[in-house]
């Protein structure tokens, strides 16, 4: 009997999940099982999770009550960081400092979730949003160089909380799921995954540092890009920073965790472009998520639904025929949010497609835009900020003119 997933896009795919050969860091063994599936197999069968939970409690106790806060929890307000915060506060009884790096794309329902979570758990909350004029330049530059406009988000999310740890001298940080859950830059077999500078440079910053960016774009200096740079090693060592994933200590189960935060915190789902019904918990915090997943489809031949179906296939919650149907129905649609994104970065759709075409991963061949179905507009898209934008190279001109008048 033929495999319904194997025929999708004519890409080689894992015989257990739906990930194709173009997925980052993927390899297949002799029988066609991918390394991510093998990692999850080890997670399910090869780890003593009771012992890991004891390690977690011992780690928390080591820092409890010795600093202004017991730990820092980097927090987007999405499903993973919300569960992480809930677990640490209610199960480990920590006093955390909750730190959000606001990438500029938070959605209305997401902000309501954040408000409910922070108030219900009774925690101190810090939110930082970088200069939007700088973010626009960074998005365009990283799109051109890496086919990924999210450099400012990747780096800011993982570096800014580390700066807070140094400045507030709070040495312990807890993130959510380990990268071993979805990619193979790290494996569950390696033990506790450290969220450190090596990990940051290995796959978070796309191989581009903040210092690199200063030389790539005009009108910014290192002070502008400090939130996106990793703290100095000496400063981290002085504070004794330890940065780990909660998912290294408890088995990560997204669907069960969503059920918990819905019941305990009133956390609500939303509609996301390219995400099928039944997965309304996925990436609800970002208005540009549809564009990001569309780029991945154009570059690699699969989108968000293949990722979600793969998780459910590994956990025995979905059969391959149903997974193939979901992928065929949802992956690869042109998102309506692309119109907003193009306004943000100041390029045409033809220019966008030309840029992305330079980053396609073989053997996938990028389809023509005219061949792709257009997805519907999200319910809140018309609520997003659409203030008229100045061209990127003119962002600072009004300020300079004002300075000349003052002189």
Closest CA to 151 of 345, 285, 300, 366: 345
CB 172 within 8 A of CB 162: no
Q: Please give the Cα distance from 1 to 256 (Å, whole number).
A: 33
- Summarize the confidence of residues 380-403 as an average pLDDT: 63
Tell me the pLDDT of the chain averaged across its residues: 94
- Summarize the confidence of residues 97-111 as an average pLDDT: 97
Q: Is the pLDDT of residue 384 over 90?
A: yes
The residue whose two tokens read 């993927």 is 26
pLDDT value, residue 27: 97
Q: Distances in Å between the alpha carbon of 320 and those of 5, 9, 276? A: 7, 15, 16
Q: Which fold has domain 49-248?
A: Rossmann fold (3.40.50)
pLDDT level of residue 403 (50, 70, 90 thresholds): very low
Q: Is the pLDDT of residue 114 over 50?
A: yes
Residue 406: alpha-carbon gap to chain centroid:
44
Q: Distances in Å between the alpha carbon of 12 and those of 23, 32, 33, 35? A: 10, 9, 11, 14
Q: Which range, of 2-11, 123-132, 150-159, averages the lowest pLDDT?
A: 2-11
What b-and-e string marks burial along 66-101, b requiring 16 or more CB atoms within 10 Å of the CB?
ebebbbbbbbbbbbbbbbbbbbbbeebebbbbbbbb
Give the residues across from 13 on adjacent strands: 20
Q: Is the pLDDT of residue 302 over 70?
A: yes
Closest CA to 236 of 196, 178, 277: 196
pLDDT value, residue 2: 82
pLDDT value, residue 6: 85
Domain positions in the chain: 8-44+269-383, 49-248
Q: Is the pLDDT of residue 356 over 50?
A: yes
pLDDT (tens digit per residue) in 59-71 = 999 999 999 999 9
pLDDT level of residue 407 (50, 70, 90 thresholds): very low
pLDDT value, residue 395: 47
Q: Please give the Cα distance from 95 to 297 (Å, whole number).
A: 41
pLDDT level of residue 391 (50, 70, 90 thresholds): low
- Summarize the confidence of residues 185-198 as an average pLDDT: 93
State pTM to two decimals: 0.94
Ranges of H-type helices in 241-396: 254-265, 289-300, 304-314, 320-330, 338-345, 349-357
SS (H, E, C) 273-312: CCCCCCCCCCCCCCCCHHHHHHHHHHHHCCCHHHHHHHHH
Which phi and psi (to 5°) does residue 101 adopt? -95, 110
pLDDT level of residue 387 (50, 70, 90 thresholds): confident
pLDDT (tens digit per residue) in 243-295 = 999 999 999 999 999 999 999 999 999 999 999 999 999 999 999 999 999 99
Q: Is the pLDDT of residue 393 over 60?
A: no
């Amino acid at each position: 009997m033929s495999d319904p997933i194997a025929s999708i896009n004519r890409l080689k795919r894992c015989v257990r999940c739906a990930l194709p050969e173009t997925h980052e860091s993927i390899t297949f063994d002799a029988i066609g099982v991918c390394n991510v599936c093998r990692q999850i197999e080890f997670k399910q069968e090869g780890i003593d999770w009771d012992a890991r939970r004891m390690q977690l409690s011992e780690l928390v106790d080591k820092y409890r009550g010795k600093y202004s806060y017991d730990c820092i929890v980097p927090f987007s307000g999405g499903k993973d960081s919300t569960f992480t915060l809930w677990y640490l506060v209610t199960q480990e009884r920590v006093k955390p400092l909750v730190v959000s790096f606001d990438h500029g794309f938070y959605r209305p329902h997401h902000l309501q979730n954040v408000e409910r979570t922070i108030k219900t758990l009774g925690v101190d909350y810090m939110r930082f949003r970088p200069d939007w004029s700088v973010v626009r330049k960074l998005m365009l530059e990283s799109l051109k160089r890496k086919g990924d406009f999210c450099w400012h988000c990747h780096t800011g999310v993982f570096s800014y909380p580390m700066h807070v740890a140094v400045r507030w001298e709070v040495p312990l940080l807890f993130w959510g799921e380990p990268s071993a859950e979805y990619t193979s830059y790290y494996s569950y077999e390696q033990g506790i995954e450290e969220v450190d500078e090596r990990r940051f440079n290995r796959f978070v910053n796309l191989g581009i540092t903040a210092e690199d960016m200063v030389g790539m774009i005009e009108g910014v200096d290192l002070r502008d890009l400090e939130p996106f740079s990793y703290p100095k090693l000496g400063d981290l060592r002085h504070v004794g920073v330890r940065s780990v994933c909660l998912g290294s200590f408890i088995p990560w189960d997204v669907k069960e965790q969503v059920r918990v935060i819905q019941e305990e915190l009133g956390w609500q789902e939303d509609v996301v472009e390219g995400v099928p019904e039944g997965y309304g918990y996925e990436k609800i915090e970002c208005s540009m998520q549809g564009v990001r997943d569309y780029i991945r489809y154009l570059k690699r031949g699969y989108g968000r639904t293949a990722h979600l179906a793969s998780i459910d296939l590994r956990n025995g919650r979905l059969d391959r025929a149903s997974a193939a149907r979901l992928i065929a129905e949802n992956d690869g649609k042109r998102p309506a949010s692309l119109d907003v994104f193009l306004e943000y970065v100041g390029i045409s759709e033809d220019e966008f497609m030309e840029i992305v075409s330079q980053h396609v991963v073989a053997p996938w061949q990028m389809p023509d835009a005219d061949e792709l179905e257009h997805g519907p507009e999200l319910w809140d898209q018309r609520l997003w900020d659409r203030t008229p934008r100045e061209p990127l190279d003119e962002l600072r001109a009004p300020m300079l003119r004002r300075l000349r008048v003052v002189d």
